[in-house]
Amino acid sequence: MARKKKTKKKTSLPKKLKRLLIMLVILIIIFLILCLITPSSDTANGITADGSIKNLELPAPIDGEQIISHTGYTLSYNEEYELPSWVAYTLTRDEVLGTGSREDDFREDPLVRTGSASLSDYRGSGYDRGHMAPAADFKWSVEAMSDTFYLSNMCPQEPSFNRGIWADLEAVVRTMAYDNGEVHVVTGPVLTDGPYETIGKNEVAIPKQFYKVVLDYTDPDIKAIGFVLPNEGSDKALQSYAMSIDEVEEITGIDFYPSLPDDQEEAIESKANTADWNFTEFIPTGEMPDESQFEYVSPSSPKDMVLNEIISLFVDIKTEVFSLLGIEEIASSFGLI
C-alpha cells in the first residue's frame, strides 16, 4: 500500500503583524520618493520666498541624539539622561491668544526609538514633570497642547521652581511674542554640569540648571536674550538671570540659531539688553485671534513626518514580534521595548 505523503502545515504571520509590515513597506517607498523630490539642504534650510529663514528656531544637531518633531515644536532627545537636550518652537502673537483648555494627559513618547521616561519614573519622586515647551504656549490647537504632555518634553523640576520663577519666565516669553509679533524659543536643561542624581527605573537625570533663549527676528529691532536659572525656588528678578546667547552657548555647549547669517549671528548673540524687552507677565485678555489671518505651518517636512511614522511602526512591529515569541516581559526588562 502506498504511503500517504505528509503535507507540511503552512504557517502564516498573524494578521496584525502582516498589516504592520505592509504599512512599513508602503511608508519606506513613500519616504524614498520624498528623498528624491525634496530640495537639497541648502535650499531647504535657506531663505524662503517671503525673506524669512526656514526652521530658524532649530539649534544645531547634537551627535548621537534623536531629533523628534511634534505638532508645534521640535526636540532633541538625550537617551543617556532621558531628557530633551533642547526643545525649540516659534511662538506668535495669535498663538498666545489661543483659548484651548489643558488636559494634563502626561504620557510616554512613542517616537523616541529607545523609549522615553515614563510616568512611574516621576511618581513619588517629589519632583514636578516640568514642561520645556509649556502647554500654555499651545492653546491654539488641541493636538499641539496634547503633544506638549509627552514625557520627552519634560524634566524633573523642584516644585517651587516649576510653579514659581520658571512659570514667570514662561509668561514673560508670551509677552515677548505678543509685543514683537513672534519669537523663536529654545529651552531645556543644562547637561554639562553633571554628575546628576536620578529618579525612577529609567534613571532620569535631575538637572541642576535650566536655560531659555529667545530671538526676535522682526524688523526693525532684531534682538535676542538668554537665561540660565538654578533648579530651585527664587524671589530674584528675572532680569538678574539674563545673559547673551553666546554666554548660554558656552554654558550648554549648544549652537543656537545656526541658520542666521554669520554677521547677524555674531552681532545678535554677543549682547543682551534687558531694556529692549518687556518683562511683564502675559495675562490673556480673552481676545480671539482672527482665524482668517492665521495659519499655522508645522516645522516638520513631509519627509520628517513619514520618517517619524516609520520609526513608530518599527516600535510596534518589534513589540508584536516579542509578543508572538512569548518573550515580551523579558524584552521589556532589558529595555528592548
Per residue in 22-64, pLDDT (tens digit) is 888 888 888 888 878 765 444 444 554 445 788 999 999 999 9
The whole-number pLDDT of residue 295 equals: 37
User: What pLDDT digit, counting tens, does each position of 291-302 carry?
Assistant: 343 333 344 467
Q: Which backbone phi and psi does 182 adopt, to 5 degrees?
A: -165, 150
Angle at 113 between CA 102 and CA 32, to 5 degrees: 105
pTM: 0.72
pLDDT band at 275 (very low <50, low <70, confident <90, very high): very high
Smallest Cα–Cα separation from 78: which of 153, 185, 157, 175? Answer: 153
Residues in the chain: 337
| 312 pLDDT higher than 80 | no
Three-state SS at 59: coil
Is 308 part of any known ligand binding site?
Answer: no
Q: Catalytic: which of 70, 129, 131, 174?
A: 131
The reply to whether 184 belongs to the active site is: no
| 289 pLDDT higher than 60 | no
**Of 5-9, 171-175, 262-266, 283-287, which gets the smallest average pLDDT?**
5-9
Q: 210 and 188 in contact (C-beta within 8 Å)?
A: yes
The whole-number pLDDT of residue 12 equals: 67
Straight-line distance from the first to the last Cα atom of the chain, in angstroms, rounded to the nearest whole number: 54
Instruction: Give CA separation, 279 vs 96, 162, 185, 186, 233, in Å.
Output: 16, 18, 16, 18, 19
Calculate the CA 250 to chain-centre distance.
22
Instruction: Name the DSSP letter for residue 68.
Output: E
Q: 215 and 177 in contact (C-beta within 8 Å)?
A: no
Question: Looking at per-residue confidence, does 134 or 37 come out higher?
Answer: 134
